[in-house]
Amino acid sequence: MSVYKVIEVVGTSQTGWEDAAKNAVETAGKTLKGLRVAEVGELDMKLDEAGKVASYRAKVRISFKYEGS
């Protein structure tokens, strides 16, 4: 029997949502072990003062195996 923990992270990119989601997962993977599933929950954009897209953001829920003591 396994237990998994789920966290939510926000990734950003200046090129698109796919890169934003990838950045979120890859950054989380640097400190978390046993990542299992990543699910994109919300997508949005940050706009500059002229109303143009400055960056893309992706909220990603990531699950990983819980290794409690």
Quote the CA–CA distance of 17 and 30 in Å, as a whole number: 20
Predicted pLDDT of residue 2: 82
Predicted pLDDT of residue 42: 96
pLDDT along the chain (69 residues), means of 10: 91 97 96 93 97 97 84
34: CATH:
3.30.1660.10
Question: Which domain covers residue 21, as residue numbers?
Answer: 4-65
Predicted pLDDT of residue 37: 95
Q: How many domains does the chain have?
A: 1
> What SS3 state is found at 21?
helix
